[in-house]
Every structure is written in structure tokens, then in C-alpha cells.
């Protein structure tokens, strides 16, 4: 059975500030998707949130980039924005950069990760969602999952993974893509994906079978809007078990609270803290950035689950480390490298402030 899994997300209003989603907004999204399921457009769905981002997880047979599915998501975000406006939530409609739907949500503000595949006898799926960070945050975790034998022992001892994986990398500034084969091209791969604000792992494929293994959202709000409107807060889908890394191998990279860009006003580096859905409430300095993960087994496209994977106690150390790193970084206040480098700031919030002082700069002798 060919199934498409679409994860489409948007921040359409925060409660309180940018720290959480309001239950009425989630209820409205649930109502819309239940209707679409009743009408047969969706096989199944799960509505959730990561911080102030509304997450629509949907299975269907309309393939990727389906106008019908994107329209459903867009309409749901518009309806939920109405709820957010009524409650006067913060930044109602924040990520909806257009007044009109144009056949796809791509380029309109929401983030999208989609993949189509033949459902396996046991189809294990992990969906990662982040808040207070940028697209590109998945680069290091995806590298570790699919190319690092110190993370994924399956690359070494499982014969069905030994041939490695192919990484599709997007240059979001020049609008180009390139593919690299791991393991033999990992140095070439790392030159690019080590700079995640520009080069992002869009998808990963199994080398031998060509099967899709992972897909991520690479939409950058600031590039779309030409100014800072909020962070991308990306999502990522990973297939697991069998010819793909085991669940524990997929989750293992998040034991490192890696430094990502985002946090307060989207303008800082901070540790990515793995948390249960209920704890995706970035509060301290609007953070630190959070990552959540839901696991499902698919059965005829039905989402059996979710299991909240980061609720597990084995991530307590990573959370404590993230808090310790947060303490350390916060003491740098407005200084780099806590604050983002100049190049990033020039793209976002700095020009407005700098413009005011333009006339005060005088030439050096």
C-alpha cells in the first residue's frame, strides 16, 4: 500500500507570548482534520504542538505536494488563526505570509516535511518537531543517525545498512541541491551541512534500495518574508527499523543538546533540549530551544500511536546538560557567540536599529 505522510506546521499564535499553544487552537485543528478524514481525504491524522507551533500529522494517498492536502492544511491554519485572534493570542497568524492560497503552502510560511512510500510489514516512524530554532537544526542529528557509526552501530553490524545512505542537501540561499553518498563522501558532505543556516539536509535515501529514509522541512521564514517574523521551527520525519536505523539509533543524537540558532527573538545560539510534548513550553528567555519526538507504527496508513519518545527518563541528563549550557550562554548577554553572528543579524533584526544611527557614523582619519 502506497502511503504519503505529510507533516505541515505553522505558528499561528502563541499562548502566553511564544511559550505554548492554546487548547482551543488545537481543538479547532482537530475538528477540521476529523472532517477531512470523514470525507476520505485523509486516512488518519494526529494534531499536536511543539511550543507555539501547531503540527498537523496526516496520512493519505494523494502523494507529495498535493494541492488538496496543502489546501486542507492552509485552511486549517486560517481557521485556527481566527480562534487565535478571538483569544487575542500573541502573534496570531504569525507564519501565514500570504492572504491567498496558491496551490501549495510552500513559500507561504508553513513548514513542510512529506514522504511517499510503500508501507512495510512493520512501518516504524519517528516525527521530530522543534520550537525556537531554524531549519537546518536537523543536519547534525541526521548525519549521526545515517552516517556516524559511533551513533548507529547498525551501519557497522547490520548487513542491510552496510552500503550506507544518500543525503540530498539544499542550498536555501542559491536555491540549488546536491546529493552525497555516505560513507565515502562524508568529508564533502560535512563541509556543507556543518553550515546549517544555508545548507540543509532535505532528505536521506537508502543506497541499495533507493527507499526514502528521512525528510525534513527546509523553509526559512526570514528568506521568504525578507525580514524576521519568527523562527522556522522545523519538522523532520524518519523511518526506522529493518533497513533503517533502529528507534534507539534514531533518538541517540539528541542526548547531545547541540547548539542551534533561535531562542530569544530568534537571534541567539542555544542548546536544543529534548522534551516530552507536555514540556515543550519554552519559557526561560523564550527557550531554550526544544525538540519533541512522536513515534508511530503505521497500519494501512492508520497512525498507531503516538508514543512520546523523549518522555523517557534516559533523556534527563541531556535536559540537565541543556539547562547548564543555557546558564553558561546566558551570562554572555548581548555578546556573540550567544548572540548570532553579524551576518545572520543583518538578515533579520539589526537593519532597523542600525538605520537609526546611520547619520552618526563619521569617517575615520
So which residues are the catalytic ones? 11, 228, 231
Q: Which of 7, 9, 10, 11 binds ligand 13P (CB under 6 A)?
A: 11
Give dist(CA 266, CA 260) in Å, integer. 10
Give dist(CA 255, CA 207) in Å, integer. 27
Query: Using CB under 5 A as the criterion, which residues of the chain lie in contact with Mg ion when the complex forms?
Result: 11, 14, 18, 52-53, 91, 131, 230, 233
Q: Which of 120, 177, 207, 265 binds ligand 13P (CB under 6 A)?
A: 265
For residue 234, give the C-alpha cell.
Answer: 522545523
Give dist(CA 114, CA 125) in Å, integer. 12
For residue 304, give the C-alpha cell.
Answer: 498507531
Q: Which of 202, 206, 231, 239 binds ligand 13P (CB under 6 A)?
A: 231
Of 18 and 239, which has the nearer Cβ to Mg ion?
A: 18
Q: Which stretch binds ligand 13P (CB under 6 A): 59-67, 167-175, 196-204, 258-266?
A: 258-266
Give dist(CA 201, CA 64) in Å, integer. 18
Q: Which of 141, 230, 271, 288 binds ligand 13P (CB under 6 A)?
A: 230
What secondary structure letter does DSSP report for 340?
P
According to the binding rule CB under 6 A, does residue 131 interact with ligand 13P? Answer: yes
Q: Which residues are paired to 238 by β-bridges?
A: 126, 214
User: Least separation, in Å, of the C-beta of 264 and ligand 13P?
Assistant: 5
Kindly write down the DSSP assignment for every residue of 111-141, as one continuous string. Answer: EEEEEEEEPPSSEEEEEEEEESB-TTTTHHH
For residue 176, give the C-alpha cell.
Answer: 540549488
Q: Which residues are paired to 130 by β-bridges?
A: 291
Q: Which stretch binds ligand 13P (CB under 6 A): 24-32, 159-167, 225-233, 326-334?
A: 225-233
Give dist(CA 117, CA 215) in Å, integer. 12
User: Least separation, in Å, of the C-beta of 93 and ligand 13P?
Assistant: 12
The residues binding ligand 13P (CB under 6 A) are 11, 14, 18, 51-52, 94, 131-132, 230-231, 233, 246, 248, 264-266, 286
Amino acid at each position: 500500500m502506497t502511503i504519503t505522510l505529510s507533516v505541515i506546521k505553522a505558528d499561528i499564535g502563541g499562548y502566553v507570548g511564544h511559550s505554548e499553544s492554546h487548547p482551543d487552537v488545537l481543538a479547532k485543528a482537530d475538528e477540521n482534520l476529523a472532517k477531512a478524514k470523514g470525507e476520505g481525504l485523509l486516512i488518519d491524522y494526529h494534531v499536536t504542538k511543539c511550543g507555539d507551533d501547531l503540527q498537523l500529522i496526516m496520512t493519505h494517498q494523494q502523494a507529495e505536494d498535493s494541492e488538496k492536502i496543502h489546501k486542507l492544511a492552509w485552511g486549517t491554519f486560517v481557521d485556527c488563526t481566527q480562534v487565535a485572534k478571538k483569544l487575542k493570542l500573541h502573534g496570531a497568524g504569525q507564519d501565514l505570509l500570504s492572504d491567498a492560497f496558491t496551490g501549495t503552502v510552500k513559500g507561504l510560511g508553513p513548514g513542510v516535511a512529506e514522504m511517499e512510500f510503500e508501507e512495510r510489514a512493520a512501518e516504524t516512524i519517528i516525527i521530530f518537531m522543534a520550537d525556537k530554532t531554524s531549519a537546518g537544526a536537523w543536519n547534525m542529528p541526521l548525519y549521526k543517525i545515517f552516517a556516524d557509526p559511533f551513533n548507529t552501530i547498525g551501519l557497522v553490524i547490520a548487513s542491510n545498512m552496510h552500503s550506507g545512505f544518500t543525503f540530498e542537501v539544499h542550498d536555501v540561499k542559491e536555491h540549488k541541491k546536491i546529493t552525497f553518498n555516505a560513507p565515502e563522501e562524508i568529508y564533502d558532505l560535512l563541509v556543507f551541512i556543518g553550515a546549517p543556516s544555508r545548507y540543509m539536509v532535505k532528505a536521506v535515501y537508502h543506497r541499495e534500495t533507493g527507499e526514502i529514509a528521512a525528510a525534513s522541512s527546509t523553509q526559512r521564514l526570514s528568506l521568504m518574508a525578507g525580514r524576521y517574523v519568527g523562527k522556522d521551527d522545523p519538522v523532520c520525519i524518519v523511518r526506522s527499523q529493518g533497513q533503517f536505523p533502529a528507534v534507539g539509533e534514531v533518538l541517540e543524537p539528541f542526548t547531545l543538546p547541540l547548539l542551534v540558532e533561535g531562542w530569544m527573538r530568534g537571534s541567539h545560539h542555544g542548546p536544543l533540549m529534548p522534551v516530552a510534548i507536555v514540556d515543550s513550553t519554552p519559557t526561560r528567555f523564550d527557550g531554550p530551544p526544544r525538540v519533541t519526538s512522536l513515534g508511530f507504527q503505521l497500519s494501512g496508513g492508520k497512525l498507531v500511536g503516538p508514543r512520546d519518545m523523549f518522555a523517557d527518563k534516559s533523556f534527563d541528563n541531556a535536559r540537565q546538560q541543556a539547562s547548564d549550557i543555557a546558564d553558561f550562554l546566558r551570562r554572555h548577554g548581548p555578546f556573540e557567540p550567544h548572540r548570532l553572528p553579524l551576518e545572520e543579524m543583518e538578515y533579520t533584526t539589526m537593519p532597523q536599529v542600525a538605520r537609526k544611527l546611520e547619520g552618526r557614523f563619521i569617517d575615520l582619519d
